Amino acid sequence: MARDDAYRKAERRIAQAQREGATTLALSGMELTEVPESIGLLTRLTKLNLSGNQLISIPESIALLNQLMVFDLSDNQLISIPESIVSLTKLTSLDLFSNRLKSLPEAIVSLTKLKMLNLSFNELTSLPDSIESLTKLKMLALASNKLTSLPEVIIFLTQKELDLSDNRLTSLPEVIGSLTQLEELNLSNNQLTSLPEAIGSLTQLKELDLSNNQLTSLPEVIGSLAQLKWIELYGNPLEPELDAVYEQGDEAVFQFIRAKAEKSLVLNEVKLILIGEGEVGKTSLLGALRGDKWVEKRKTTHGVEVEIRSLLVTDQNSGTEITFNGWDFGGQNIYRHTHQMFFTSPAIYLAVWNPRRGPEQCRVDEWIKMVKHRAYDENRPDEKPHILVVATHGGPKERLDHIDEQALREEFGNLIVGFYHVDSKTEFGLNALKQVIANTAANIPQVGRSVPASWKRVLDAIRQRSQTDAWITYEQFQALCAEQSVDLALAKTYAAILNELGHLIHYSADPILKDTVILKPEWLSKAISFILEDQKVNDQNGLVHHDHLSELWNDPARGPDRYPQHLHPVFLKLMEKFDLSYQIELPEAGAPPTSLMAQLVPSRRPEGWEQDWVLNLTTPNAPTSAACWTKKQAAPSS
């Protein structure tokens, strides 16, 4: 049999090694199921490799190899280690990787010179206390076992590498802080929910793998580990701020933790966005939620106006007082799609409609689609928009049009929180709505986050700067943060949080837009309105040459409302990003760069437009047919 052939071949190698007085012997990968007893004759061996066989045991004669220093038994089927191993007192390396060991013998206490012990990929559920004798260990590998805890005796070990990955650890003992010489610690693929403060004692730690656990945060003491250069956090349910920082790199994580260690604040804050058609009662509803005095015949909010007013609501379930930054837009049809420039997540959206006009006329479905399209990423469920559909006007006894709640729930799933009916004047249903809003906010993972105390200083500085400047460069934002002792990595995190909460606008993911930080949203929406309201652009059914855009934005007659030339490409990119405009190529030779404003395209298509103009679009998914027939109806002028 093949097994007998392997055995006899091993015997021949052993005999040859004995004749030659060999100090090393490799019997690896031979499919051995047993090792010849004659192995005990090689008393001069210092290195023995039996890896890659099918051994279920090793002969007692191994005890005679008392000069052995390196012993490789990896990739076998060993279920135990004989007590005779006690004689191998000169062993410095013992590799038992990928066997079927369920326990270690107490005899391991004799291997006091061991520097490397690899026990990974076995079936160990615990470690014997005798392991405390292995004080010279530099590397201990215990990956892919069934360990649920670590023994207190690890305090006696001095290893530099400890691999505990792929086990069942739910916690670490405080005594792990005794491993002060540790340089590499692998805790990946366990069930850890927290780390002990004692980990701050691992002052020599350089690499820490915590991937695929259940960690939401890290202890602040990690920020004191000056030697730590690499940390892996992938696959943990990290709190939003830490998750965002982790995406920026290891150094950003360390700086964030160090900043939090100074002093921290709790942010119970969320963005509240009111969306809907014009004259459905958004402004009145926000005022009523704030407790403002009722205003009869309130002036309609103009489409370019963005009013931001805060309100405080206490969640009765948790007792948490939450600040809402309420955003109110005008709802006129021509400006509807400009509002999406300010949609962020996570946030709470109130889709407001007037039952006297009906859900179709109020375009409830269209507004919610816009939110889902711009503010929802199914790969980031913790950052989803939370949409409350709110009917205004009329008391409970009034006969009103109804909305198809089931259809909306089927289309938008759990983005819909619920459906509510209020009267802002009589305050009917208002308190119930406020409690739903507060409870929804309290359950958003980002609400209640902790941030360094420098957050408040940066926020105050941003508010002060917005009194004089509508926008700043990202470099200026970094400088503003630096003045508050905030480093670049933390500044990036603050920019993301400030954008999320509605304190500024920053499109960090866009290579062109990321260099501009907008402090006044109206400044941005007004730039778009100059185009939408321009008679010349309207006469041309939305076609506009770029040189005319420059005239509109940099018109000296506008005084303080002028927009500098270097920002014009930013505005163009922004309009294209949100499908407000599309760059097109006119068929005439030498035609100037031209864009089509989608909102100004006529709704009726003329006959024969295909023959009159062939359009080459430079923007994917642009409305080809709509753009083409604007040329048919109105020829653009320079």
Q: For position 626, what pLDDT does the model report?
A: 41
Q: For position 400, what pLDDT does the model report?
A: 58
Q: For position 629, what pLDDT does the model report?
A: 43
Residue with tokens 């933790």: 257
Q: For position 606, what pLDDT does the model report?
A: 64
DSSP calls for 241-269: HHHHHHTT-HHHHHHHHHHHHH-EEEE-E
Q: For position 452, what pLDDT does the model report?
A: 86
Mean pLDDT of 37-64: 94
Q: CB under 8 Å to 462, separation ≥6 — which residues?
A: 480, 498, 503, 504, 519
What secondary structure, in 3-state letters, does 525-556 show?
HHHHHHHHCCHHHHHCCCEEEHHHHHHHHCCH
* Beta pairing partners, 307: 328
Q: CB under 8 Å to 572, separation ≥6 — which residues?
A: 546, 549, 581, 583, 595
Mean pLDDT of 494-499: 93
Q: CB under 8 Å to 603, separation ≥6 — which residues?
A: none
Other C-beta atoms closer than 10 Å to the C-beta of 561 total: 13
Q: Output the CA–CA distances (angstroms, integers) from residue 54 to 8, 14, 33, 591, in the order listed.
A: 16, 18, 5, 78
Rounded to a whole number of angstroms, the distance between the first and last alpha carbons of the chain is 92
Whole-model pTM above 0.75? no
Phi and psi angles of residue 394, each rounded to the nearest 5 degrees, phi first = 90, 140
What secondary structure, in 3-state letters, does 152-188 show?
HHHHHCCCCEEECCCCCCCCCCHHHHHCCCCCEEECC
Mean pLDDT of 281-290: 90
Q: For position 500, what pLDDT does the model report?
A: 93
Q: Are strands 543-545 and 594-597 parallel, antiparallel or unpaired?
A: antiparallel
Q: CB under 8 Å to 619, separation ≥6 — which residues?
A: 576, 582, 583
Q: How far apart are CA 220 and CA 197, in angstroms?
A: 8
* % residues pLDDT > 90 (the chain): 50
DSSP calls for 271-317: EEEEE-STTSSHHHHHHHHHTPPP-TTPPPPPTT-EEEEEEEEE-TT
Q: For position 617, what pLDDT does the model report?
A: 42
* Residue pLDDT, tens place only, 372-412: 999 999 888 888 999 999 999 765 565 556 889 999 999 99
